[in-house]
């Protein structure tokens, strides 16, 4: 009896060891670069949380063709130099087959040479059009292009008979890209830019710029930046009694902006992904199922609503999953499969990549929203 028990025990241990070895051999490592701390933490924290949640969900349901995903996350704190260092570490030390992130345009632009040289596909969660324009072989993105956001704002202004605008853009990678698109698309939408000014990422008072705007002929002010700057501008505008409407970029599409700007947020309009108004979308919207599922899942895990920025990470992980299912778990297989993805209904929009388009979205990925009673509503 003892001998039989010992044999069973030894066999069980061996089976457990074999299973453990198989599990280790069967994992697929993907890297993530998110600004979990630092000024862009409002981007990176929900992205990190979402990526972990989605990977856990994938693994709980059997992984990808029997292989588990292993997510290796590094916090870049919004620093481009650190992002390059962490990307190098992910590729050389961690041996990842793909990278999701970084969170910001500046970091993404800094990391591009690293992933291109190493032939590791990267799906950026940042918005700058220049990340994928011109196309880089190994670089894709999930955040909607700032050019699409500009088009959405300009179309809305046209609809409301406003054609004289003032620009106030932050002097960083995101702001520079947005400013470039605002100026480049103005003629197409018959917009006259009557004043073009900037502010610094760390500036805490923009009264001087707003005073000039108040004295101009501008019918609307377009503010391009990420928190906290746009919230400061909204407060300064309210203090100055600026009467023209404020339009923000999609860079503030989270409840964090409303909390920072407080009463000054009321009436502000901006283009956003659909996730923050998912409950009022028509039933036949092709994204609705994914949007509602994500919002509920994030709420369950983190006790707050899933937002526009976390959605970029949801899309990135799920696109990698789809690519592995189609092209295998090698870096080159993932890259090739990503480029062939069509009609993927995600959080940021419906993605269709091609050799000529690694952003994969059109302006229908955005809706115009307005802040009413400290919450989001569809702008009319």
Give the domain ranges of the chain.
12-144+288-363, 147-272
Q: Name the residue with higher pLDDT: 172 or 20.
A: 172
pLDDT at 9 over 80: no
Provide the pLDDT for residue 2. Answer: 45
- As a whole number of angstroms, the distance between CA 363 and CA 200 comes to 28
Residues in the chain: 380
Each residue's pLDDT tens digit, 236-276: 999 999 999 999 999 999 889 999 999 999 999 999 999 99
Domains 12-144+288-363 and 147-272 are alike in CATH topology: yes
- As a whole number of angstroms, the distance between CA 89 and CA 106 comes to 19
Q: Identify the CATH number of the domain defined by range 12-144+288-363.
A: 3.40.50.2300
Average pLDDT, the chain: 93
Each residue's pLDDT tens digit, 22-55: 344 579 999 999 999 998 999 999 999 999 999 9
The domain defined by 147-272 folds into Rossmann fold (3.40.50)
Contacts with 140 (C-beta within 8 Å, 6 or more apart), sequence order: 121, 122, 123, 124, 132, 319, 338, 353, 358, 359, 360
Q: DSSP 3-state assignment of 111?
A: helix
Long-range contacts of 324-329 (CB under 8 A, 24+ apart): 324/28, 324/64, 324/65, 325/64, 325/65, 329/28, 329/64, 329/67, 329/97
Residue 7: pLDDT band (50, 70, 90) is low
């Amino acid at each position: 009896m003892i001998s039989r028990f010992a044999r069973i025990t030894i066999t069980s241990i061996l089976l457990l060891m074999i299973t453990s070895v198989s599990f280790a051999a069967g994992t697929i490592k993907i890297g993530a670069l998110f600004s979990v701390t630092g000024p862009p933490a409002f981007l990176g924290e929900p992205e990190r949380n979402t990526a972990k949640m989605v990977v856990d969900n994938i693994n709980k349901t059997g992984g990808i063709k029997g292989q588990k995903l292993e997510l290796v996350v590094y916090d870049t704190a919004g620093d481009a130099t650190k992002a390059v260092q962490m990307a190098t570490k992910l590729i050389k030390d961690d041996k990842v087959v793909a990278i999701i992130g970084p969170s910001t345009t500046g970091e993404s632009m800094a990391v591009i040479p690293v992933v291109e040289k190493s032939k590791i596909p990267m799906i950026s969660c940042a918005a700058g059009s220049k990340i994928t324009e011109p196309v880089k072989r190994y670089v894709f993105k999930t955040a909607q292009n700032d050019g699409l956001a500009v088009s959405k704002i300009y179309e809305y202004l046209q609809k409301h008979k406003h054609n004289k605008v003032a620009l106030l853009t932050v002097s960083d990678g995101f702001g520079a890209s947005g400013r470039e698109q605002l100026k480049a698309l103005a003629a197409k939408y018959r917009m006259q830019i009557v004043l073009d000014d900037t502010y610094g990422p760390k500036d805490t008072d923009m009264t001087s710029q707003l005073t000039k705007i108040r004295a101009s002929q501008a019918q609307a002010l377009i503010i391009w930046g990420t928190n906290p700057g746009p919230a400061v501008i909204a407060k300064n505008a309210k203090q100055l009694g600026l009467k023209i409407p404020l339009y923000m970029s999609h860079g503030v599409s989270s409840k964090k902006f409303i909390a920072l700007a407080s009463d000054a947020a009321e009436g502000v309009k901006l283009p956003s992904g659909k996730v923050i108004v998912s409950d009022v979308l028509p039933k036949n919207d092709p994204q609705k199922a994914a949007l509602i599922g994500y919002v509920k899942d994030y709420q369950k895990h983190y006790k707050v609503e899933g937002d526009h920025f976390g959605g970029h990470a949801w899309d990135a992980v799920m696109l990698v999953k789809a690519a592995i299912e189609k092209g295998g778990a090698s870096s080159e297989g993932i890259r090739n499969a990503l480029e062939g993805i069509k009609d993927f209904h995600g959080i940021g929009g419906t993605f269709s990549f091609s050799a000529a388009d690694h952003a994969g979205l059109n302006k229908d990925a955005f809706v115009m929203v307005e802040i009413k009673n400290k919450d989001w509503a569809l702008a009319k």
